[in-house]
Amino acid sequence: MTLPLLRGVRRQAVALLATAQRPMRVRDVVVALGQSDDRGKVESMRSRLLRLAADGWLVRCEGGTYAIASGVNGNAPAWEGSEQVAP
Instruction: State the pLDDT confidence band at 86, using cuts at 50, 70 and 90.
Output: very low
Strand 58-60: give its sheet, edge to edge.
24-25, 65-68, 58-60
Mean pLDDT score across all residues of the chain: 84
pLDDT tens digits, residue range 28-70?
A: 999 999 999 999 999 999 999 999 999 889 999 988 999 999 8
Q: Is 66:47 a contact under the CB 8 Å cutoff?
A: no
pLDDT of residue 71: 76
